[in-house]
Amino acid sequence: MFSPQLILTALPDFPLVQPGDDLAALVLEALARCHIHLQDGDVLVLASKIVSKAEGRYRDLRQVRVSPAAREVARACAKDPRLVQLILEESREVLRIRTGLIVVEHRLGFVCANAGIDHSNTAADRELVLLLPRDPDGTARALRERWRKATGADIAVVINDSHGRAWRLGTVGVAIGVAGLLPLSDRRGEGDLFGRTLEVTVLGTADELAAAASLLQGGADEGAPVIHVRGAPYRAGEGRLADLLRPRELDMFR
């Protein structure tokens, strides 16, 4: 349904998430602090980093056993062999290597840099790194159900991460987990302003929500990992990350 207004609100004073924390409860508390009551059609966008932290997805580089394959790749890209080992473990395939960068197909199916493994805003211990969530779709579904039971509102949930793009500079937010919405809005067969039938228009709705939210989440010290969205034009349904991924046979860049 078309909405003439889209409102995004970063939930303020969100605490630093620790392994084992109840994300559903933390978000409800943050919503209450800013007097937001969930309504049908709202969307909550969560940064993947807080999901990973709650899941305890930290790895200590001091405990990583490095394989010969990881040492070979590390020499090619001049990266820490221990980090390279984790990148390989989190990946299905290495696609490109250059100094400081390994582009992989992640175990979740998307292409990204360094398997999404991150040092920033993770821990004071420089030897700890954070992996992406185990099952972002599953986490999104579980959170949505918790919030539905707590508030009665039928909402959608997006878990987002920052990804680069092969043909443009700069990172943007993309969805890596969804619940309660169809990630793609297929407009084919509909008419444009002049009555012409749309033939190829399929919108990446979940990624557009992820990107909009990432503007408020920031990429440094903003401390705003959860964004409440009201007025988003999406189609409800049981979507999943895989819906967004281009089939390999249609991928012209691999």
The full set of domain ranges for the chain reads 7-47+134-241, 59-129
7-47+134-241: CATH homologous superfamily?
A: CofE-like (3.30.1330.100)
Average pLDDT for 167-177: 94
Tens digits of per-residue pLDDT, 121-161?
A: 566 778 899 999 999 999 999 999 999 999 999 999 999 99
Is pLDDT above 60 for 1? no
Tens digits of per-residue pLDDT, 182-232?
A: 999 888 888 888 888 888 888 999 999 999 999 999 876 678 999 999 999
- The side-by-side arrangement of strands in the sheet containing 101-106 is 91-98, 101-106, 111-113
Cross-strand partners of 106: 91
Exposure class string for 125-139: b at 16+ Cβ within 10 A, else e: eeeebbbbbeebbeb
Residue 105's Cα: distance from chain center in Å? 15
Q: Give the tokens for residue 114.
A: 């360094």
Round the average pLDDT of the chain to a whole number and report it. 93
d(CA 154, CA 143): 12
**Residue corresponding to tokens 């039928």:** 154
Query: Which amino acid, 127?
Result: E
Is pLDDT above 90 for 243? yes
Average pLDDT for 7-24: 96
According to the CATH classification, is domain 59-129 in 2.40.128.50? no
Tens digits of per-residue pLDDT, 75-117?
A: 999 999 999 999 999 999 999 999 999 999 999 999 999 999 9
